[in-house]
Amino acid sequence: MTAVLYWLASAAIAIGVVVTLFAGQWRRGLGLQAAGAALFIAAGFATLATGHAVGAAFTSQLTPRLGVDRLSGVFLATLGVVAAPALAYSSRYLDGSGRGRLIGALTGVFVLAMVGLLCARDAITFLGSWELMSLLPAVIILVYRAADAESRRSVFIYIAITHLGGVGTWVAVLLLAHAGAFGTAGVVGPGSALQIGIALAALVGMGTKAGLVPLHAWLPRAHPIAPAPVSALMSGVMIKLAVYAMIRVFVDWLGVLPTWFGVLVLAVGAVSSVGGVTYALFQHELKRLLALHSIENIGIIVLGLGACLVLRAHGDDAWAAFALAAALLHTVNHAVFKALLFLCAGSIERSVGSLELNRLGGLLRRMPWTGGALFVGAMAIAGLPPLNGFASEWLTLQALLHVVMSGHVGDGTAGAVALAALGATAALAVFCFVKVVGLVLLGPPRRAHVRDALEVAAPMRGAVAVLALACITLGLVPGLLVSRLVAIAPWSGDAPVHAGLYVPGTGSLPTVGIAVVLVVATAVLIVLRGQRTPPAAPTWVCGQPVVPELQWSSAGFTKPLRLVLEVVLRPRREIDVRTHGGVVTELAYEGEVPNLIDERIYRPVARWSLAGAAYARRLQSGSLGMYVGYLIGLVLVVLIAGRIGWLG
Amino acid sequence: MSPLLPGLILHWKARLQGRRGPSPLQPYRELRRLWSKSTVDVAGTTVVYRLAPALVGACLVAAVGLVPVSAVGPNLGVGHDVIVLVGLLALARFAAAASTWDVANGFSLMGASRDLTISVFAEATLLLALVVVAVVTGTSNLLGMIAGTAGGAVWSSPALPLGALAFGIVVVAETGRQPFDNPDTHLELTMIHETPLLEYAGRDLAYLQWAAAARHWVVLVLAAQVFLPHPRDVWAQLALLPLVLVLMCGALALVETLQAKMRVLLAPRLLGVAALAALLGVIARGVGGS
């Protein structure tokens, strides 16, 4: 029955793509694609709930096979939850020109490529969908930006880093298929060199795709320049599929990995989360801020995954299942609120024209739907109760706490450091999103055209409203999802179903109780506050006149943190003062927080590679005789090697 | 009960400085005075400005309901998990900071940015201190923590004293006492937790001042019942609690009188020292045997 749903959904998206591209009613095509994505939600959650696998099982043979099991089901449902609103949003975001239709069609193909990756049951389909999934956003960005110089450069960096790092994915998958372990646990011996090799290759390859530090440089370049619904899909789902691949390799197929590997994964996750959010704080363009913030949340997901690996190495299987459930819950939650934030950013860009944080303001009054949804998304991503971000961060913290409690000295300390990193990340996320909410939604508008901004069309408003509702629902009843997510770990069974989050032996998160108490207490306090409505007066500011030019900027608000972390961030500042006869006539200020990984790691590596390539170019002399000489030399070497017996 | 705590601290600080000082019941009189005054409204603000004091008050109500006063406590719907407590305090901080952006008051914004900067380090240190206790007692439920740290046996290993040292510094940071902040003034340069107070009056201001007092209650009760030696028996815990709270208020007053306010940007270093102490506690527990 669910198999029929999957085929129907894929068919709907495929037909929708064709309609969008060719037919006159291209908006209907996008609507059809959205309906197909919505069917994926139903089918995915059905598979997750019942646990019945559909289609073929995994195989190490190189024949195309498709199938869905619980883990694929939850990711397919997440894909649907993000894609359906995004595609409905596109119907108004894109215009009816040839370019707009092409982007709409390519978005549908992108969704199908991701579906293909999730349903792949053999190495060929897996790798083929992986590559297609990487290439399609590049095409979409180039079409959207009409291939201008900046987009060409960003796409080049994106493709280059994805493929250089992605070598790891190819190596890992092909080694697994060669060993016959693609889909079968227990074939690769625990502690063997093959297992460690595959694990490290997978971490590098899939970590590049997921955007883990230090392989993340493509993320803040590629995500901001894509159209908003595609950014939502990239940030919400594409980087999560790298996590899906990691879970398959580390948890399902490689058996029990040694403890030091779990600690390595924890370290990478902690560095990514703290680094991502710290750099996100100092951005002044909304989409780039959101892209860097995705790195932070991937770091949190990887922290949960690392906790799972460490707990499994200790033999604590029940808690390892909870840690995996924490990582998966944060995957679903982050997809929902990141898509919400990107779609709201797209709406603001359509309505105001720029996403420069220092030039917005007061949009909560002008665009109540989009502004309200952005507020809900910001509270969710900052990890505040009673929304969904807090639930998944709570579960991850509990898993890390258990790592500390159960571990030996080394792992326990690593777990404690990871826990402190997660706490700092949560506080930094609150800081970041107070800034975003304050600069975008609150306060007086900073430019005239922002003062006259209008709310966007109904499908765009509806899409973000649906996602905001999903945030609130997932925050109220995460337990319904977690009880099924715990069962995904291949060694564990089902967990009892509650609305809140209950883990054995320690504290619990009664989400409904907290929400009720907060709402009732706020309502009581508002009622007690009384009805006296005083006349509105300007801001007091200790009696000073309010000067619009002296409003706080993004850099000003984050300055204390910039100064505290000066040693690590090395911010640069240039102040230019012009005087005329002792009186200051002009003052120019320029400051930036440089991207240190770009400067210290990527640039030297790029320089050396180019120098090496220039040296190697000497081989291309252009003379035919030289090339024939190379060929003869190669044949001689192969013959000698065959004679000696080097070639098997 | 909570407004009594800052009242006591203020009273003793004055005594230590040679003045007569206000009576410990002064905060109650302050709240009653504010209750009868009318609120103000700032032009150009949204629902965030109007809702923020009620939301902050609600968060602290939930937090007070979460922290039990003894090893046995009623479940008022919010449970007793200590990570939920950290989350509720974060929500209160978010609401207060968002309201400062809404009124666009430069002084409030400066205080809000400093509050959020210090909270980054304070939250990490707070979590580490709580991790020490969680590792010792094996649970993150506060009832279990209070029961698990009762008696004298757990104090023999260095883990819990190191955690107590770390939490002591966090208490000073969370209550906004010197050397982190000067709660006696209302200047933007010395206000960290009190930042949105500038644009509120009447009942809104009463809610925010009560919330500040409730923050005192929450961290001091946690310190008394988890991070200091306490008896096993529930009734003995309840009887001893007021005495310990009064002693801690005295200790805070002493610390405030002896310490000058440190430069705000150096405060994270002090919190970093506290975090290292808590980490040492975790290592000690791991080495000592668990």
Question: What are A582's two structure tokens?
Answer: 């002792």
CB A394 within 8 A of CB A488: no
Ranges of each domain in chain B: 39-288
Residue A563 in any domain: the answer is no
Angle B106-137/B267-288 helices, nearest 10 degrees? 10
**Contact check, Cβ <8 Å, A362/B44:** yes
Residue A636: inside a domain = no
Report residue A305's pLDDT band, with 50, 70 and 90 as the boundaries: very high
Strand segments (E) across A541-628:
572-580, 583-592
Distance (Å) of CA B207 to CA A539, B49, B56, B106, B226: 20, 13, 8, 22, 28
Of the candidates A168, A185, A202, which is a domain's last residue?
A185
CA distance A171 to A156: 23
Radius of gyration of chain A (CA): 26
CB contact under 8 A, A430 and B94: yes
Which residues in chain A have Cβ-Cβ distances shorter than 8 Å to B264? 560
Q: Report the residue of B34, B59, B101 to disrupt the A interface, i.e. the one with the largest count of A CBs within 10 Å.
A: B101
Q: What residues of chain A, 170 to 209, have a C-beta less than 8 Å from chain B?
A: none
Tell me how close the Cα of A505 comes to any Cα of chain B, in angstroms: 7
Domain-embedded: residue A645: no
B41-42 vs A536-537, strand pairing mode: parallel
Report yes or no: A360 and A327 within 8 Å, Cβ to Cβ.
no
With respect to residue A593, please indicate whether it lies within any of the assigned structural domains: no
CB contacts < 8 A, A to B, total 264
Say whether B131 and A379 touch across the interface (CB within 8 A): no
Look at residue A570 and give its three-state secondary structure. coil
pLDDT digits (tens, 9 = 90+) for A255-268: 888 888 999 999 99
CB contact (8 A) between residue A516 and residue B141: no
**B148-166 pLDDT, tens digit each:** 887 777 777 788 888 888 9
Contact B265 A560 (CB under 8 A): yes
Cα–Cα distance list, A49 to A42, A203, A269, A486, B146 (Å):
10, 30, 29, 11, 39
pLDDT tens-place string over residues A17-34: 888 888 778 888 888 888
Contact with chain B for residue A568, Cβ under 8 A: no
| Domain end among A506, A525, A544 | A525
Average pLDDT, chain A: 87
**B190: confidence class by pLDDT, cuts 50, 70, 90:** low
Q: Is residue A510 part of a domain?
A: yes
The percentage of residues in chain A with a pLDDT greater than 90, rounded to a whole number, is 32
A499 touches chain B (CB under 8 A): no
pLDDT of residue A239: 92
| Whether the predicted pLDDT of A314 surpasses 90 | no
Interface test with A, best of B31, B93, B108, B120 (most A CBs within 10 A): B120
User: Structural domain of residue A80, as residue ranges?
Assistant: 1-185
Q: State whether B140 and A532 contact (CB < 8 Å).
A: no
The domain boundary, picked from A158, A185, A212, lies at: A185
Please write the tens of the pLDDT for every residue from B17-51.
Answer: 888 888 888 888 988 998 888 888 888 788 888 89
Interface of A with B in 435-494 (CB under 8 A): 437-439, 441-444
- Closest Cα in chain A, distance from residue B122 (Å): 8
Chain A, window 326-365: residues with a beta carbon less than 8 angstroms from a chain B beta carbon: 362, 364-365
Widest CA span in chain B:
61
| Nearest chain B residue to A401, by CA | B131
Residues of B in contact with A506 (CB under 8 A): 134, 138-141, 144
Question: What residues in B contact A557, CB-CB < 8 Å?
Answer: 109, 112-113
Does B30 contact chain A (CB < 8 Å)? no
Query: Whole-model pTM?
Result: 0.91
Contact residues, chain B, for A507 at CB < 8 Å: 79-84, 139-142, 144
Q: A425 lies in a domain?
A: yes
Sign of the torsion angle spanned by Cα atoms B222, B224, B227, B231: negative
Minimal Cα–Cα distance from B215 to chain A, Å? 16
User: Does the residue A7 lie in any domain?
Assistant: yes
Domain count within chain A: 2
Q: Can you tell me the mean pLDDT for A508-523?
A: 86
For the stretch A188-205, pLDDT in tens is 777 788 888 889 999 999
Interface test mutation site (partner B, options A564, A565, A568, max chain B beta carbons within 10 A): A564
Q: Is the pLDDT of residue A332 over 90?
A: yes
N- to C-terminal Cα separation, chain A: 50
Over chain B, what is the mean pLDDT? 85
Distance between CA atoms of residues B290 and A343, nearest Å: 49
